Amino acid sequence: MGETGRLTVDGRAYADRFNRMPPSGFDQWVRFALERDCDPDPAAYEALYQDLHPWMTSGLNESLFHQSNGFRIDKPSLLMTHIGTMDVVTFVVNATYPSGAFLSANNASVPSFISAALPLLAQAGKLFHFVLNRSAFPRALPADKDTSSNSVYTGTNDAFSHNSCFRSTYTKANHRMNHGFFQDPSAFETENLNLPIFSESKVECYMDVRFPYDAMPKRSLHIDTIAWGDKKNVLFWRGDTSGIRNAVDAPYKQSHRFRLVEWAKTYAKKHPDASYDSDMSPQDGPASNLNKFPIQVDIGFDAFATNNSVFNKKVQDSYSLKPHTPASYAYQFKYLVVVDSDTLPETLMAYLASNSVVLYSGVFTDFMNWKLKPMVHYVPVQLDLSDLEERMQWLKDHDEKARKINANSKALMRQINTRSYGECYAGLLMLEYGSLFNSDNKL
């Protein structure tokens, strides 16, 4: 963002937009954002306001973090009890930590995206607590008030039976029967908690707050140097068998990744000339027949997500694993499919930054991909893949529009798939979150 394009967002503009005063330290955050070439307009970080909205009126207090909610604050030492894969952490400024510090019971490292915001939080000067989810799975799904439930749900059926938002949002016809997370995930760590738990990702209905982790941004390890016009007209996907519990007694064939590989298997029978095997040399057959079909298909598993030998043999017998290839191998192809794994698909941001167009089907969002707009940054595909062939036809008939979608995705990735964006997002999130925390501990 050039100097002339920078916006001045003062307290009055903030108050007009949000109908409240900005958090303490907001002016410092604006300078913080400008120094990192981030957008200083809070509207550019809308997802964090959506996540914090449930507490905007009621605020937050220490009682939420007491034992009744599965956590215990040890106030004298300001150290938190470590619970499973979640840590309750305190931000504190005092004589020992005049510039601010994060304290946790098990001395777990706080993500560096938050640490970068220490000067902002120290200037705000307020004590508050927050929960870090060390698992990749979202956690907080409060049960309906008119039902009773244990703190940890026994599985997806238990969660559906106790949360009406879950039932109405993820219907059997749309999501529940087409995505492994809603059927029998490899791990289901959802708890009956009404807490703003800081998590890597979430799906709708969860109370988790999307948050930049050190594994992000997921930037491409290889720069795509193949121009659009030089790419092969191939629909490509590689991935492991994650996305559902890998066991013969699980409904794995109904999960999203198995549906995709099964779709490709059926499509190859229907259109033999459309099957492209990039693992074969040109003289071996299909790889030399690119001109026989407008868009060819190369989709398959390249790894198992489990050591379950019985399950793995069953998958190998049904689908035959393809050789594993690096992520950059996909860049020779014009059309790249992305579907969820157990949670977020790791290839999404890298592929969006490439010179290929992405066809995407998923339910998880994080602090970056909520900005993605269908048919602007990617081509959407239904979870049951019922429109995948139709999308392929659209891509064939609208090459320039597909190229424009790719240009849009690359431009967005240059803005948000950066460390600077993560620091700006985390800094504003911590200021807004801290301003909601009602504590008698004034620093």
Give the pLDDT of residue 432: 93
State pTM to two decimals: 0.89
Between 263 and 191, the higher pLDDT residue = 263
Give the pLDDT of residue 119: 85
Distance between CA atoms of 53 and 382, rounded to whole angstroms?
Answer: 29
Any residues with CB less than 8 A from the CB of 381 and at least 6 apart, and which? 337, 359, 360, 361, 387, 388, 391
Distance between CA atoms of 166 and 158, rounded to whole angstroms?
Answer: 11
CATH architecture of 228-417: 3-Layer(aba) Sandwich (3.40)
Buried b (16+ CB within 10 A) or exposed e, 345-368: bebbbbbbbbbbbbbbbbbbbbbb
Give the pLDDT of residue 112: 85
Give the pLDDT of residue 217: 55
pLDDT at 174 over 90: no
**Residue whose tokens read 């993820």:** 170
| pLDDT tens, position by position, 258-317 | 999 999 999 999 998 888 877 654 434 444 455 556 789 999 999 999 999 999 999 999
| pLDDT tens, position by position, 401-429 | 999 999 999 999 999 999 999 999 999 99
Give the pLDDT of residue 57: 82
Q: Radius of gyration (Cα) for the chain, nearest Å?
A: 24
Give the burial class of 440: count Cβ atoms within 10 A of its Cβ; 0-12 exposed, 13-18 middle, 19 or more buried.
Answer: exposed
Any residues with CB less than 8 A from the CB of 223 and at least 6 apart, and which? none
pLDDT average, residue stretch 129-154: 82
Q: In residues, how long is the chain?
A: 443
Domain ranges (residues) in the chain = 3-135+420-438, 228-417
Give the pLDDT of residue 84: 57
Distance between CA atoms of 123 and 235, rounded to whole angstroms?
Answer: 51
Distance between CA atoms of 249 and 259, rounded to whole angstroms?
Answer: 17
pLDDT average, residue stretch 216-220: 56
Give me the amino acid identity at 11.
G
pLDDT at 82 over 50: no
Instruction: Identify the helix (H) or strand (E) that includes residue 419.
Output: helix 419-436
Q: At what angle do helices 26-35 and 419-436 cross, to 10 degrees?
A: 180
pLDDT band at 383 (very low <50, low <70, confident <90, very high): very high
pLDDT band at 80 (very low <50, low <70, confident <90, very high): very low
Residue 107, Ramachandran bin (φ over 0: left; ψ between -120 and 50: alpha; else beta) = left
Is cis: bond before 272, omega within 30 of 0?
no
**Which of 58-62, 134-138, 380-384, 431-435 has maximum average pLDDT?**
380-384
